[in-house]
Amino acid sequence: MIEILSALGPTSVQDLGRFEQYRFGVGTSGAMDDVALRAGNILLGNDENAAGIEIPVTPFKLRFGRDRAFALTGAEVEADVGGRAIPPWWRSRAHTGEILTIKAMSRGARSYLTLSGGIDVPVVLGSRSTQFRGEFGGFEGRPLQTGDVLPCAAPNPSAETSDLGVGPADLVLARPNMPAGDTTVRVIIAGEYDAFDSTAQKLFWRSGWKITPQSNRYGYRLQGPAVNPVSPIEKRSHGIVAGVIQIPPNGQPIIQMRDAQTSGGYPKIATVIKADMWRVAQARLGSTLRFEQTAYADALAAEDEVSVYLDRLRADVRLFAELQGCR
């Protein structure tokens, strides 16, 4: 088990998500940066869907109840365990009673703590992810608080041997010729794109969109020039998924994120492709987001690139385990 000594903001237990309950109005929840969660679990030899902790705010502190391998992936963080500095995207070992401290987040917006064996909270409606709106799943259906004691499954012996690092997703999957500082994400145009005239469309593509403080796991509310359709659109409610960019009547886009409602009626101008959602998840409040149009086939190719990256990690971790076995 592990004991939370300090958790701020909506720190929560998440796996990859709850994908088969839309018809009951239940959204997916799940790790905002699914690539980071998968990478952490791969490092530890876990099932990739094992639950970890999503940490959006520092400082964060916890105590290990027994020896256990763990990893911090996602954001670049300054962290230590038992006084030893821990680099992100590395698997490390903690001893019984040692304290892990994440002091600061220097790049990115969310750190993922994965533990050998995974966090063993009950599976509710097919997932261990926290459903904030429904107040179920995760740890008691709520954000983690100081004093919470989380059960962990039996550690995976293959991960308990020695430290091992992998290339962070934001370096390996970096896209060439992108403006520094801003986050550019690829989008596919959505149902109501043609209801915006060419001036509004250009504003959407060419503007830098500031991520406002009202952005969270539900959605990213952006700020920039007002983008409005030629005439107001009042749609019948329909299903939406994470990544959909809605334009409410104030003309300020909202990107739906993992805790978004399962349906909505505001016009949709575009959808962030699945392969770039982790980039949105790691974009910080106050930073600038830009949109780049892409074709459906290219979006699938981008998903393949993420798969190749994860396949490489799997192969490297396996190879390392075999080399260890030979010694």
CB 8 within 8 A of CB 59: yes
195 lies in the site for other proteins, by CB under 8 A: no
Residue with the two structure tokens 């109005």: 25
Residue with the two structure tokens 């064996």: 117
Out of 239, 308, 319, 324, point to the residue binding other proteins (CB under 8 A).
Answer: 239
Judged by beta carbon, residue 15 or residue 76, the one nearer other proteins is 15
9 lies in the site for other proteins, by CB under 8 A: no
Least distance CB 230 / other proteins (angstroms): 16
Residue with the two structure tokens 């954001």: 75
CB 244 within 8 A of CB 271: yes
Q: Give the residue from 118, 150, 112 showing the smallest Cα distance to 45.
A: 118
Binding track, positions 271-300, relative to other proteins; x by CB under 8 A:
xxxx---------------------x--xx
Q: How far apart are CA 327 and CA 318, in angstroms?
A: 15
Specify the 3-state DSSP secondary structure of 260. coil
Judged by beta carbon, residue 238 or residue 318, the one nearer other proteins is 238
Out of 11, 14, 21, 288, point to the residue binding other proteins (CB under 8 A).
Answer: 21
Least distance CB 235 / other proteins (angstroms): 8
Judged by beta carbon, residue 197 or residue 303, the one nearer other proteins is 303
Q: What single-letter DSSP state applies at residue 21?
A: -
142 lies in the site for other proteins, by CB under 8 A: no
Interface positions, 56-95, toward other proteins (CB under 8 A): none
Least distance CB 58 / other proteins (angstroms): 24
Least distance CB 254 / other proteins (angstroms): 8
27 lies in the site for other proteins, by CB under 8 A: yes
Tokens read off for 153: 């499954």
Q: How far apart are CA 248 and CA 256, in angstroms?
A: 12
Out of 61, 133, 210, 290, point to the residue binding other proteins (CB under 8 A).
Answer: 133
Say how many C-beta atoms besides its own lie within 10 A of residue 39's C-beta. 28
Least distance CB 133 / other proteins (angstroms): 5
Provide DSSP, 193-244: GGGS-HHHHHHHHHS-EEE-TT-SSSEEEEESS----SS---PPPEE--TTE
Q: How far apart are CA 169 and CA 281, in angstroms?
A: 13
User: Site size for other proteins, by CB under 8 A?
Assistant: 56
Residues lying near other proteins in the complex (CB under 8 A): 19-27, 124-125, 131, 133-137, 187-188, 190-191, 214, 218-219, 232, 234-244, 248-250, 252, 254, 261-266, 268, 271-274, 296, 299-300, 303
